[in-house]
Chain A
Amino acid sequence: MPASFSRTDQGARLTRWLVTLPPALFLVVFFLIPALIMAAASFREPGEFGGLAPLAERGFSLDAYRFVFDDVIYAWILAKSFAVAGLTTLLCLVLAYPLAVLIVRSPKRRRDLLVLLVILPFASNFLIRIYAWMIILGPLDLLYSPVAVIAGMVYVHLPFMILPLYTNLEKHDPALLEAAQDLGAGGWARFWRVTWPLSLPGVLSGSALVFIPVLGMFAVPELLGGTGDRLIGNLIKEQFLDNRDWPLGAALSLLLTLAVLAVAGISSALTRNRGQT
């Protein structure tokens, strides 16, 4: 920005406030404060009929957390949710990678079409995508099983893995691969030594885009899974909409939030190490 006079300086600062404040304020009110409320609610007692007990009456308490850590079942479900998220991410990677490579190797004109074809299924409501699997797996007798849950999770999140991978692979310099070939590297070696390491930032951001939402999902296990296939998202939903136990629900939500922040932190640290996409 060029040198400015003092009037323009004041004007610039005013502009900066006028433009930044409205969205910031909106998000503070409707995102930040609710998040803090949720954290605070986990330290409250449950109300007699549900909800939260009045602060004046019962004050703060660690009961919800004591209850969570008191029994291994909640840790077990959280671990299971991580496992499902991990497996889904892996499967998405395996399915997405060849497709992304295929798109990159195609002639430039066709690439846009191929990318569009990837995005279009994403245009359907995710409930519809789950419902599609209910139709397919029903007759196969695989409905309400862990297989169904994984299939649903992978299906819903696959485009999130394809796009970042593709965006990354597109930027690779074909000269590198040619050089590797000239140096005598076979097909697999070229992939493993050149393509894969370069694609890691894309792999990482795609993985984060799959792992994190899967951790919080409840609709897929609820519609496609059996009674034993519930994940942490289902537990949280139950506390609010079935059990009326808001402190416990808030405590579980806070733990999920910490888990997500940890994953996001690790992912972005790894990405920064290798240089951004």
Chain B
Amino acid sequence: MRRGVWLWAAGLATYAFLYVPLAVVVLFSFNDSELNASWVGFTTRWYGKLLGNPDMLQAAANSLLIAIASSTIATVLGTMAGISLHRWQPPLLPFLVLTPVAMPEILLGVSLLLFFRQVLDLTLGLFSILAAHITFSIGFVAIIVRARLAGMDEDIFEAARDLGATPWRTFTRVTFPLIVPGIVAGFLMSFTLSIDDFVITFFVAGVGVTTLPLQIYSMIKVAVTPEVNAISTLLMALTLTLIALALRFAPETLRKSA
């Protein structure tokens, strides 16, 4: 049993490693000290300051808008890609869909910057961020939807066709309802990815449009006050809720696609 104890200790230590730093961030968001070097006292004024900060509110609004728009479009396109990958395995589609997911984000950010400026001569802003977010989200949605389809019993389709259903009816009455949990999980995943994205947004945001991660980044670089902790805590709470919801909808699917 000695080995068992070591294993438990190692496991617990790893969990502690994962959680303690985040707990520190949350805790110090209530610190009544601008320097935030050591604990002074409890206060919620940083949250108040956040809500009164127009740049922060604009960034939050931008982030939400971009997340909703990009994850909607990405979910539609990603679902189509997932279905196509599962049913027909067209050549090149796996490469197109999966590579943006696997590549370091900086490469995607840089190539999109070059594309928008050099080819389209587009001023960077909301549109460029939107296009970028959709690009990397499609892959995630496709993977989840494909995993969901792979887990389904093919006999159901046979049965539907034997009963005289047209392909369209098979899709709307049989396939679609069964993959809805995967689609919803995909939507929630892309929403989370979009809200949290830093690297790619950093390159294609240009000037004048900020998102929450970009705002956090410039706060960290310019002046670190507990305000950063406060916004971090709020952002964590949001994405936590979203991931919990995603898992609720499709626990098996997410596990299989990991």
Direct contact of A and B (CB under 8 A): yes
B216 with A23: CB separation less than 8 A = no
B199 with A125: CB separation less than 8 A = no
Residues of A within 8 A of B182 (CB): none
Q: Give me the 4 closest cross-chain CB pairs, A-B, nearest first.
A: A216-B104, A132-B21, A102-B11, A98-B10
A34 with B112: CB separation less than 8 A = yes
B37 with A118: CB separation less than 8 A = no
B11 with A26: CB separation less than 8 A = no
A178: CB under 8 A from chain B? Answer: no
Smallest Cβ distance from B239 to chain A, in angstroms? 4
Chain B 207-244, CB-CB to A under 8 Å as 1, else 0, gives 00000110011001100100011001001100110111
CA distance A169 to B226 in the complex (A): 41
Given A19-B80, A117-B15, A223-B220, A123 contacting B240 (CB threshold 8 A): yes
A37 with B240: CB separation less than 8 A = no
Residues of A within 8 A of B7 (CB): 98, 101-102, 105
CA distance A37 to B121 in the complex (A): 13
Smallest Cβ distance from B194 to chain A, in angstroms? 12
Among A24, A125, A253, contact of B196 (Cβ-Cβ < 8 Å): A125
B106 with A23: CB separation less than 8 A = no
Residues of B within 8 A of A20 (CB): 80-81, 84, 88, 90, 93
Among A12, A34, A237, contact of B111 (Cβ-Cβ < 8 Å): A34
Chain B 67-92, CB-CB to A under 8 Å as 1, else 0, gives 00000000001101101100110101
B59: CB under 8 A from chain A? Answer: no
**Extra inter-chain contacts (11) besides given A27-B96, A34-B114, A246-B114, CB under 8 Å:** A24-B92, A30-B112, A98-B11, A102-B7, A102-B11, A119-B247, A123-B236, A134-B224, A139-B38, A155-B21, A236-B110
Smallest Cβ distance from A214 to chain B, in angstroms? 8
Closest partner residue, chain B, to A18 (CB atom): B80
A37 with B18: CB separation less than 8 A = no
Residues of B within 8 A of A240 (CB): 110, 113, 203
Interface residues on B, range: 35 or more
The main secondary structure of chain A at its interface with chain B is helix
A2 with B14: CB separation less than 8 A = no
CA distance A133 to B25 in the complex (A): 9
Closest partner residue, chain B, to A209 (CB atom): B102
Q: Number of contacting residues on A, CB 8 A? A: 86
Residues of A within 8 A of B228 (CB): 131
CA distance A2 to B192 in the complex (A): 40
Given A23-B138, A41-B118, A120-B240, A215 contacting B104 (CB threshold 8 A): yes
Most buried by A among B83, B115, B158: B115
CA distance A256 to B10 in the complex (A): 35
Q: Which of A161-213 contact B (CB under 8 A)?
A: 163-164, 167, 187, 208, 212-213
A264: CB under 8 A from chain B? Answer: yes
B236 with A24: CB separation less than 8 A = no
Closest partner residue, chain B, to A222 (CB atom): B221
19 example contacts (A-B, Cβ-Cβ < 8 A) are as follows A8-B167, A24-B90, A37-B118, A52-B118, A102-B8, A116-B244, A121-B19, A124-B236, A125-B212, A126-B196, A135-B25, A158-B18, A167-B255, A213-B105, A216-B106, A218-B106, A219-B199, A240-B110, A240-B113
Q: Which of A97-141 contact B (CB under 8 A)?
A: 98-99, 101-103, 105, 112, 115-129, 131-136, 138-139
Smallest Cβ distance from A255 to chain B, in angstroms? 11
Closest partner residue, chain B, to A125 (CB atom): B196
